[in-house]
């Protein structure tokens, strides 16, 4: 089409055309060619972009474009200039759309970028997006880490890159995690304890405070070396004394194994490439235990181990080296009397060689015999031990076979009263039975049996004694109730004795006759004593007597009362000793003791109190008289003026009657007062009237300036008072001296008054008018001109500073007062008000108060010593924003003293475990003297160091195939304000967040490593424990001696093994094979071997403890003599005592595991067991030839 346009040059500046006529010089043109008008606008999907990131550009293209046209997105430079634009995306199109573009990765960071779109055909340059675009620098990050660590240890991973950027990473391809780089572009990650090699891979990095991020692919590898393992065994569990044994160590090849011999110092051995090493023991003469301590690889990885083997030695039999029987006939003492512990014991007459002696050999006193034993496994005969014979003869006690005793109730005869020769034990039967306690009461006609005791022996034959016990008693009779002052008599069943009273103050008794005299009310015991007969001691009997008080009617009395008095109780006049409940004669109208003068006659009234079976009645008399009433008389009171002083009225009348007046005195009105006599005076009430006259006043009293005769005078005028003779006046000028005088006229003029002064004038009295009330009036002389007070200015102060009191007299001599009160916390304008009479105006004064900075309460620091090096550092500037509330105009300085001193540096370091108090001073530099100081504390906290422990220091759980039979409780040893996270093989255990963790799941790997992170909830400080390794093994067999002794008739229940749920079997086969479970009442057979298993939580041990039994002559042969132990249950210390020497004590838990061992050589032992956890334990006490096991409970 044809288009005719008129275009000005100004319009062309804002439009783009194709094929336009070029001659345009600010005038009209006529275009006659076809013209296409194109225009392009655009917008970006975001105005905050990053280097290398994508952006969608939406553009609107108006006009027509040729086929093949390409729209190109262009980026300006950082200042928005398109002089050298950069193409960042294209789109082939003829219409509007969206161009996907990418910000160049080398673009310079800036805030003034613009974007535009240009077309290739028709060639068109579009407008820019119209808004500045910010291009941020893309963040970077890299990763590095420790290459090799031991299993269960922590590794270190280091991240570096753009400062304050957030780095996203993953562990072994797991979920994403993040860490923030510090202001220097660094961050260090301490890994959790690791048990397998782990890869830490970068995922992305994002800048702080912007939208920039970047995908990353770098990684760091931490190689984890498994911990070495080792086990211990022996092929020589028993050897003969003087032989050697072998101990074999197996485990990880080429590791160093640390072990102990008999729990002594650490020793080491290196396993070969095959993972084994064997040692030959030194010659042994006593049982020796080899225990594992730890295993250490050549790379330095180590872990603690448990397990031990014992090489048992058959030495000479054990027992007391001095032995002998207690016999009455020397021929009864034979070798069979000796007690030794051993197997197949043989007796000789020499230490080597010599003759083999039969057990029937009669012992020779003080001779030494020699014994050996034979190893049942090897058949070798041991060395010999000496036993010296001591044959002890014990005689039968002698004495009186019939012994007599008196049955004294206060000291009855007992077993201790029996007499026999020697040191004795007494029994109730001729043989057997229990020893009687010395305090056992004797029974008349009973036989008792005595033995002779000569330690360590007691005679086997007993001496018989029959006891005869005689009674001795006296009975008393007689009347047990009397009256005070009367008598009775007690009679005894046995004459010849004497009497005494337990309470002579209640009753006395004649010592010979038994006559009792009552003294005072109460109960007394009469004691009768008589000399004993028939071998009995003196006898004593008692009998009580009760003494009753005589009735008391009180004392005679005389009572005088008024005729108008009220009723009175006559009983009150009898005195304090009178007893109630008596009868009045003659009877009163009240029927009781109440006397009423209006109905009862004057006279004598008798009060009678009845007596008892042992006491007579008692009487007292009250005489009553009645008196008439009297009128009180008072002197009249003269009239007074209203308001005058009124003296108190007399409280005693002129005729001697006392009392009180009512109502209260009134000096302003005429009043009649009533006098009421005090009680008990036989008087009536009376009246008294006091007249009060009114006070006249002046009708008018004022100042009249029109009548003043001088400019310096004040004229006062008042109305006359009726009856006046003259007026007495007083006046003062401006509160000065008072001037007095009198006048006979009703006016007065005061001269010498200055402008502004006031005059106070008053009529104080009027002669001829006695009740006149004084009148006052104040008048001022007006000011003609006023002066303004002048004061010096006050310098500004800081809020809270001291303000001196303002001057109360101005520089030009004006006195006055200031309002409001001084305020030292805010700028205030004060007003000065001149005192009256000065012809001055008020004035103002402003005092500027510069406010101190507002001080926000500071929080205290808790700083964790993360590397536990004993010190922590912090940046004091981190407190600035908190102190100033974000006000950057304020200055903050830090000190260690509230009084200032040296300003502290930005970085402050202090020792761990201390709390340091710091002081912050904040002020505005415009007002440096207006500052505030506040304090805050920094608590340098050491990390909590948990230590994993278990009961009995166990490191294993017991399993049955894949089922846990006995779990293991791990304890961090910390409690209170802590949070917990447990790890297994370096991985956090979900839900394991308490101070303890129960290992109760079977592991195919067998060995697991545990750690725990402990965080102080109050401070946020976190510490990590050392690695604690837990292994697993089948339920173990119970523990105990494999050779045990018994006496005929004992059963499996008498065998002593330590464990839980013990079952006895006839064979050594495991539980999967057939073998009989023997009942506990199975009789023991000499030489038989029995096999014990234990059951823990329902799971039986696959292995069994073999116990061979051997008969002995006496069960006491291997028991300790008089073994005592206490307390049980125990808390901390167990006391053990025996008459046999104790040489070794062992403590085992119910699983048969030995938890404590102690060697000793004593008759009394104090065993410290406070470290044991609560539960049941077996205590094994051993000597040369004896052993005994007992169970205790630990609280």
- β-strands 463-471, 515-518: how paired? unpaired
Put simply, whether the predicted model's pTM sits higher than 0.85 gets the answer no
Q: What pLDDT, on the 0 to 100 scale, is given for residue 560? A: 85
Q: Does residue 730 register a pLDDT over 60?
A: yes
Would you identify the CATH topology of the domain 951-1033?
A: Immunoglobulin-like (2.60.40)
The full DSSP string for 156-217 is: EEEEEESTTPEEEEEETT-SEEEEE--TTSEEEEEPPPBSS-EEEEEEEEE-TTSS-EEE--
Residue 7, pLDDT above cutoff 50: no
1077 touches 1063 (CB < 8 A):
yes
The answer to whether 377 touches 404, Cβ cutoff 8 Å, is: no
* Inter-residue contact 1158 to 1180 (CB < 8 Å): no
Residue percentage of the chain with pLDDT more than 70: 94
Task: Give the DSSP per-residue string, 400-422.
Answer: -SEEEEEEBTTB--BGGG---SS
CATH match for 557-627 among 1.10.3470, 3.90.1420, 2.170.150, 2.60.40: 2.60.40
Report yes or no: 1067 and 1047 within 8 Å, Cβ to Cβ. no
Parts of the chain belonging to CATH 2.60.40.10: 38-136, 701-780, 951-1033
Q: Name the least confident of 21-30, 674-683, 800-809.
A: 21-30
DSSP letter at 1052 equals G
Using the 8-state DSSP alphabet, how is residue 9 labeled?
A: H
The percentage of the chain sitting over the pLDDT mark of 90, rounded to a whole number, equals 31
3-state secondary structure of 139: coil
DSSP at 324: -
With 0-12 CB in 10 A as exposed, 13-18 as middle and 19+ as buried, what is 586? Answer: exposed
User: What is the per-residue pLDDT across 274-303, written as a single tens digit (0 to 9) for each?
Assistant: 999 999 999 887 788 999 999 999 888 998
Distance of CA 886 to the CA centre of its chain: 40
**Contact partners, residue 736, CB within 8 Å, separation at least 6:** none
pLDDT tens profile 309-341: 988 877 788 888 888 788 767 887 888 888 888
Encode burial over 995-1011: b for 16+ CB neighbours within 10 A, e otherwise.
Answer: bbbebeeebeeebbbbb
Q: Which of 810, 878, 873 is nearest to 840 (CA)?
A: 810
Cα 929 to Cα 69: distance, rounded to the nearest angstrom: 74
Instruction: Taking residues 648-676, report their average pLDDT.
Output: 92
pLDDT of residue 832: 95
- Which structure tokens are listed for 291? 């225990």
* CB proximity list for 1096: less than 8 A, separation 6 or greater: 958, 965, 966, 1035, 1060, 1061, 1151
HSE toward the beta carbon, residue 68, CA cutoff 13 A: 3
Q: Just give the CATH number of 38-136.
A: 2.60.40.10
Cross-sheet strand order for the sheet of 915-924: 861-865, 927-942, 915-924, 891-895
Tens digits of per-residue pLDDT, 846-881? Answer: 999 888 777 666 777 778 888 778 888 888 777 777
Dihedral sign computed on CA atoms, order 1079, 1080, 1085, 1089 = positive
Structure tokens at 132: 């500045």
**843-847 and 775-780 strand pairing:** unpaired
Tell me which CATH code domain 480-547 carries.
2.60.40
Average pLDDT over residues 1107-1118: 63
Token pair 């040369």 is found at 1184
Q: Are 290 and 278 in contact (CB under 8 A)?
A: no
Task: Please say whether the beta carbons of 897 and 919 come within 8 A.
Answer: yes
Average pLDDT over residues 235-260: 89
CATH 2.20.130.20 residue window(s) in the chain:
141-225, 230-314
Return the residue matching tokens 């530099």: 925
- What tens digit of pLDDT does each residue of 1134-1154 get? 999 988 888 889 888 766 677
Joined together, the tokens standing for residue 810 give 């101005």
Strands 402-407 vs 463-471: parallel, antiparallel or unpaired: parallel
Check whether 177 has a pLDDT greater than 60: yes
Q: How many CB atoms lie within 10 A of CB 301?
A: 21
> Both tokens of residue 1177?
């334990």
In the chain, CATH 2.60.40.3080 sits at 1119-1195
pLDDT number for residue 34: 41
Model confidence over 222-239: pLDDT tens digits?
998 899 999 999 988 888
Averaged pLDDT, 896-905: 83
Q: Read off the tokens for 155.
A: 């590794």
Query: Confidence class of residue 1112 from pLDDT cuts 50, 70 and 90?
Result: low
Q: Note the pLDDT of residue 22.
A: 36
Query: Which of 661-665, 801-805, 1173-1177 bottoms out in mean pLDDT, i.e. has the lowest?
Result: 1173-1177
Positions of E strands within 207-359: 213-215, 219-225, 230-233, 238-240, 246-251, 256-261, 266-270, 276-280, 288-296, 302-304, 308-314, 322-323, 326-327, 346-348, 356-357
Answer yes or no: is pLDDT of 1 > 90: no
As assigned by CATH, the class of the 230-314 domain is: mainly beta
**pLDDT for 1158:** 86
Higher-pLDDT residue of 852, 568: 568
Mean pLDDT for 345-374 is 90
Name the nearest CA neighbour of 473 among 400, 553, 534.
534
pLDDT of 411 higher than 60 = yes
Mean pLDDT of 1086-1101: 88
What is the CB-side half-sphere exposure of residue 1150 using CA atoms within 13 A?
15
Question: C-alpha distances in angstroms, 486 versus 74, 513, 518, 549, 613?
Answer: 142, 16, 6, 11, 12
CA atoms in the 13 A half-sphere facing the CB of 828: 15
Q: Specify the DSSP class assigned to residue 153.
A: B
In the structure, what pLDDT confidence band is assigned to residue 901 with cuts at 50, 70 and 90? confident
- Whole-number Å distance between alpha carbons of 54 and 102: 4
Cβ neighbors of 81 (< 8 A, separation 6 or more) are none
Phi, psi dihedrals of residue 793, rounded to the nearest 5°: -70, 155
Kindly give, in sequence order, each residue whose CB lies less than 8 Å from that of residue 23, ignoring residues fewer than 6 positions away.
29
User: Which of 84-98, 133-147, 736-750 has the lowest average pLDDT?
Assistant: 133-147
Q: Give the Cα separation of 573 and 620 in Å (integer).
A: 10
Tokens linked to 921 = 């001073």
- From residue 1152, alpha-carbon distances to 963, 1039, 1059, 1066 in Å are 21, 5, 5, 20
Q: What values do phi and psi take at 573, rounded to 5?
A: -95, -5
Domain with residues 701-780, CATH architecture: Sandwich (2.60)
Distance from C-alpha of 262 to C-alpha of 278, rounded to nearest angstrom: 18
pLDDT of residue 897: 84
Over range 805-832, report the average pLDDT.
Answer: 92
The fold for domain 1119-1195 equals Immunoglobulin-like (2.60.40)
Q: What are phi and psi of 880, to 5 degrees?
A: -55, -50
- The domain defined by 141-225 folds into 2.20.130
Inform me whether the pLDDT recorded for 757 exceeds 80. yes
Residue 919 near residue 934 (C-beta atoms within 8 A): yes
Task: In whole angstroms, give the CA distance from residue 918 to residue 91.
Answer: 66
Per-residue pLDDT, averaged over 198-216, amounts to 85
Alpha-carbon distance of 1117 to 476, in angstroms, equals: 63
pLDDT value for 790: 92
Give the pLDDT mean for 430-447. Answer: 90
Rounded CA gap, 61 and 733, in Å? 103
Q: Is the pLDDT of residue 667 over 70?
A: yes
Average pLDDT over residues 120-147: 89
The more confident residue out of 252 and 454 is 252
- From the number of C-beta atoms within 10 Å of its C-beta (0-12, 13-18, 19+), residue 480 rates as middle
Q: What is the mean pLDDT of the chain?
A: 85
Q: How far apart are CA 1092 and CA 1057, in angstroms?
A: 8
Question: Under CATH, what is the fold of the domain 1035-1114?
Answer: Immunoglobulin-like (2.60.40)
**Quick one: 350 exposed, middle or buried, by C-beta within 10 A (0-12, 13-18, 19+)?**
exposed
Q: Which residue, 1076, 1084, 1092, is CA-closest to 1051?
A: 1084
Tokens describing residue 787: 């002066």
Cβ(311)–Cβ(268) below 8 Å: no
Residue 210's pLDDT band, with cuts at 50, 70 and 90, is low
Give the tokens for residue 574: 């009898």
Rounded distance, CA 1173 to CA 1130, Å?
11
Residue linked to tokens 């181990």: 305
With beta carbons less than 8 A apart as the criterion, state whether 843 and 817 touch.
no
What confidence tens digit (pLDDT) does each residue in 104-117 have?
A: 988 888 999 999 99
């Amino acid at each position: 089409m044809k288009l005719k346009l008129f275009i000005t040059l100004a319009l062309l500046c804002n439009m783009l055309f194709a094929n336009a006529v070029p001659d345009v010089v600010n005038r009209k043109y006529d275009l006659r060619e076809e013209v296409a008008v194109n225009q392009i606008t655009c917008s970006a999907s975001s105005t905050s972009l990053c280097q290398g990131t994508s952006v969608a550009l939406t553009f609107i293209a108006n006009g027509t474009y040729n086929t093949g046209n390409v729209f190109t997105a262009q980026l300006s430079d950082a200042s928005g200039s398109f002089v050298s634009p950069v193409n960042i995306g294209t789109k082939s199109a003829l219409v509007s759309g969206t161009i996907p573009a990418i910000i160049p990765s080398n673009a310079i960071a800036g805030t003034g970028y613009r974007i535009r779109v240009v077309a290739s055909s028709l060639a068109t340059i579009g407008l820019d997006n119209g808004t500045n675009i910010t291009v941020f620098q893309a963040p970077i990050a890299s990763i590095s880490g420790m290459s090799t660590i031991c299993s269960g240890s922590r590794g270190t991973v280091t991240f570096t890159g753009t400062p304050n950027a957030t780095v996203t990473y993953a562990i072994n391809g797991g979920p994403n995690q993040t860490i923030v780089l510090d202001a220097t572009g660094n961050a260090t990650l301490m890994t959790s304890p690791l048990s397998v090699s782990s890869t830490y891979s970068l995922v992305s990095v994002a800048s702080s405070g912007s939208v920039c991020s970047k995908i990353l692919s770098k990684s760091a590898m931490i190689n984890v070396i498994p911990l070495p393992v080792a086990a211990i065994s022996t092929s020589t569990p028993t050897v003969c004394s003087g032989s050697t044994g072998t101990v074999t160590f197996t485990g990880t090849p080429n590791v160093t194994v640390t072990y102990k011999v008999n729990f002594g110092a650490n020793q080491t051995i290196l396993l070969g490439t095959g993972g084994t090493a064997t040692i030959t023991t030194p010659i042994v003469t006593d049982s020796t235990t080899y225990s594992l301590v730890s295993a250490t690889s050549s790379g330095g990885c180590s872990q603690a181990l448990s397990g031990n083997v014992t090489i048992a030695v058959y030495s000479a039999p054990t027992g007391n080296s001095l032995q002998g029987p207690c016999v009455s006939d020397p021929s009864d003492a034979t070798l069979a009397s000796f007690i030794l512990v051993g197997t197949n014991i043989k007796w000789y007459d020499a230490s080597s060689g010599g003759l083999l002696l039969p057990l029937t050999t009669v012992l020779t006193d003080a001779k030494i015999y020699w014994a050996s034993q034979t190893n049942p496994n090897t058949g070798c005969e041991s060395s010999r031990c000496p036993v010296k014979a001591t044959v002890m003869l014990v005689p039968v006690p002698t004495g009186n076979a019939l012994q007599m005793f008196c049955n004294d109730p206060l000291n009855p005869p007992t077993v201790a009263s029996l007499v026999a020769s020697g040191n004795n034990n007494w029994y109730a039967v001729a043989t057997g039975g229990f020893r009687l306690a010395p305090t056992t009461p004797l029974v008349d006609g009973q036989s008792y049996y005595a033995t002779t005791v000569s330690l360590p022996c007691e005679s086997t034959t007993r001496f018989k004694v029959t006891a005869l016990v005689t009674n001795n008693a006296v009975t008393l009779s007689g009347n047990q109730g009397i009256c005070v002052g009367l008598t009775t008599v007690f009679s005894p069943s046995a004459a010849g004795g004497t009497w005494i009273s337990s309470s002579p103050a209640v009753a006395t008794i004649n010592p010979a006759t038994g006559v009792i005299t009552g003294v005072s009310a109460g109960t007394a015991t009469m004691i009768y004593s008589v000399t004993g007969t028939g071998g009995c001691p003196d006898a004593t009997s008692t009998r009580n007597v009760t003494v009753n008080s005589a009735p008391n009617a009180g004392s005679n009395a005389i009572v005088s009362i008024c005729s108008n008095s009220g009723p009175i109780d006559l009983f009150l006049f009898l005195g304090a000793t009178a007893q109630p409940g008596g009868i009045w004669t003659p009877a009163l109208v009240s029927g009781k003791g109440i006397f009423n003068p209006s109905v009862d006659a004057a006279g004598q009234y008798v009060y009678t109190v009845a007596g008892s079976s042992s006491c007579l009645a008692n009487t007292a008399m009250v005489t009553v008289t009645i008196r008439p009433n009297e009128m009180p008389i008072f002197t009249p009171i003269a009239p007074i003026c209203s308001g005058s002083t009124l003296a108190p009225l007399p409280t005693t009348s002129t005729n001697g009657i006392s009392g009180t007046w009512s109502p209260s005195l009134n000096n302003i009105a005429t009043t009649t007062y009533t006098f009421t006599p005090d009680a008990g005076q036989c008087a009536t009430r009376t009246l008294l009237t006091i007249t009060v006259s009114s006070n006249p006043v002046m009708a008018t009293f004022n100042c009249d300036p029109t009548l003043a005769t001088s400019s310096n005078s004040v004229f006062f005028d008042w109305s006359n008072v009726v009856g006046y003779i003259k007026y007495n006046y007083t006046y003062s000028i401006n509160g000065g001296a008072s001037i007095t005088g009198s006048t006979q006229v009703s006016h007065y003029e005061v001269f010498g008054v200055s402008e502004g002064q006031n005059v106070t004038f008053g009529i104080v009295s009027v002669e001829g008018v006695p009740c006149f009330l004084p009148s006052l009036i104040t008048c001022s002389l007006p000011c003609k001109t006023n002066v303004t007070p002048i004061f010096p200015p006050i310098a500004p102060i800081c809020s809270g500073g001291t303000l001196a009191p303002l001057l109360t007299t101005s520089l030009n001599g004006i006195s006055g007062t200031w309002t409001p009160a001084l305020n030292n916390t805010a700028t205030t304008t004060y007003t000065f008000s001149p005192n009256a009479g000065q012809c001055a105006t008020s004035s103002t004064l402003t005092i500027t108060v510069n406010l101190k900075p507002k001080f926000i309460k500071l929080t205290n620091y808790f700083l964790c010593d993360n590397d536990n090096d004993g010190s922590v550092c912090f940046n004091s500037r981190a407190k600035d924003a908190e102190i100033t509330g974000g006000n950057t105009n304020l200055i903050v300085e830090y000190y260690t003293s509230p009084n200032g001193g040296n300003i502290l540096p930005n970085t402050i370091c202090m020792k761990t475990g201390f709390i340091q108090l710091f002081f912050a001073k904040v002020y505005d530099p415009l007002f440096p003297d207006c500052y505030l100081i506040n304090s805050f504390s920094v608590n340098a906290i050491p990390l909590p160091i948990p230590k994993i422990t278990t009961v009995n220091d166990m490191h294993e759980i017991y399993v049955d195939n894949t089922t846990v039979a006995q779990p293991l409780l791990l304890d961090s040893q910390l409690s209170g304000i802590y949070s917990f996270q447990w790890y297994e093989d370096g991985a956090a255990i979900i839900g394991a967040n308490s101070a303890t963790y129960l290992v109760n799941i079977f592991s195919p790997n067998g060995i697991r490593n545990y750690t725990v992170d402990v965080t102080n909830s109050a401070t946020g400080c976190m510490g990590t424990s050392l690695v604690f390794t837990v292994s697993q093994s089948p339920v173990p067999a119970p523990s105990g001696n494999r050779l045990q002794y018994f006496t005929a008739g004992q059963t499996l229940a008498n065998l002593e093994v330590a464990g839980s749920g013990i079952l006895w079997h006839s064979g050594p086969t495991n539980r999967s094979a057939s073998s009989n479970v023997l009942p506990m009442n199975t009789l023991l057979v000499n030489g038989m071997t029995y096999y014990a298993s234990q059951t823990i939580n329902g799971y039986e041990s696959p292995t069994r403890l073999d116990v061979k039994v051997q008969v002995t002559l006496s069960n006491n042969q291997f028991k300790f003599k008089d073994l005592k132990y206490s307390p049980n249950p125990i808390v901390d210390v167990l006391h053990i005592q025996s008459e046999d020497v104790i040489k070794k004590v062992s403590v085992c838990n119910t699983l048969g595991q030995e938890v404590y061992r102690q060697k000793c050589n004593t008759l009394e032992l104090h065993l410290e067991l406070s470290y044991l956890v609560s539960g049941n334990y077996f205590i094994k006490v051993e000597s040369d030839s004896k052993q005994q096991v007992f169970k205790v409970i630990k609280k």
